[in-house]
Structure 1
């Protein structure tokens, strides 16, 4: 009797274990856990503390929506340089070196939206063809970087590619002419 119960138990365990492995197969070299879901980004929307640009960490969710965590410009710089821990930069690489840009490029982003600095008493000119919004031609250019409207976020590789262009005088001249 004990032998037959033990044999039945063993067979059931074997069948259930095999069945479980069929339902939940193990995948070798699964890279989904390694995919980065957090990115550095910015928006052309002013902040409540007086900054003309909103810096953020943008998290892409599985359903396609985005979760935005606001950060300061200084935090953006430290994390993008790899000197401060960041979910958007777990390898702590310097995105500034990788894309050959300087942190000063961040101070030029506002010029994409404004024709003149809105808070300065000095006349500091931006690149936009309208007072506080890019022209339709400029918006077409910004759409290449994920900026569909003034509330959109430019993030990930597109953000750093746009920062590269901001430092390129020939691109700035072309942008002003759009």
Structure 2
């Protein structure tokens, strides 16, 4: 009898949540028959990046696959040996909030987003996001699996960004 195989899926939700996080992350483990076997939520982008990149051992990335490289998205862990610090980086993850907000929603950062409305995308932008990334409700749904990687790729594409800003 062969050992069970699993499929590992990652995702993000762009919605103000606990601890003043604008984006939260999820990792899920599915069995061959499509049953969800485990789920972990991340509010720390740094931890999530370390799992996605295979830098940290994780039950959601047991083979330590660099999913950034596999999905052609810039990201990983920068290691500064001089000061012994390991920092996760992914410009696309840093930009996810921009699809929901017209400006950074908290104090301390003066940066513009891409949404046509202050606290959520316009109706047409929301319809576009729902269709393109297979979600029903931006407030509650995680954009997962291949849609998650498509989103990360899109938010790093200047043409996609300009087109998104003007969806009316």
Instruction: Specify if TM > 0.5.
Output: yes
Q: Is 1:58 the counterpart of 2:28 in the alignment?
A: yes
Which deviates more from structure 2 when the two are superposed, residues 77-86 or residues 60-69? 60-69
Per-residue CA deviation, residues 26-80 of structure 1 (Å, 9 max, x unaligned), is 7xxx79x2231x4211101223222210112234586877965211211110011
Q: How far is the alpha carbon of 1:160 from its aligned partner?
A: 1.2
- List 4+ stretches of structure 1 deviating above 3 A: 58-68, 120-123
SS at match of 2:101: coil
Greater helix proportion: 1
Task: Tell me the residue number matched to 1:49.
Answer: 19
Q: For structure 2, which runs of at least 5 residues remain unmatched after alignment?
A: 75-89
C-alpha separation between the residues in 1 aligned to 2:61 and 2:146? 12
Q: Give the number of equivalent residue pairs.
A: 148
C-alpha separation between the residues in 1 aligned to 2:15 and 2:30? 20
RMSD, aligned α-carbons: 2.4
Task: Tell me the residue number matched to 2:165.
Answer: 176
Larger Rg: 1
Task: Tell me the residue number matched to 1:40.
Answer: 10
Per-residue CA deviation, residues 70-102 of structure 1 (Å, 9 max, x unaligned), is 112111100110111223322211111122222
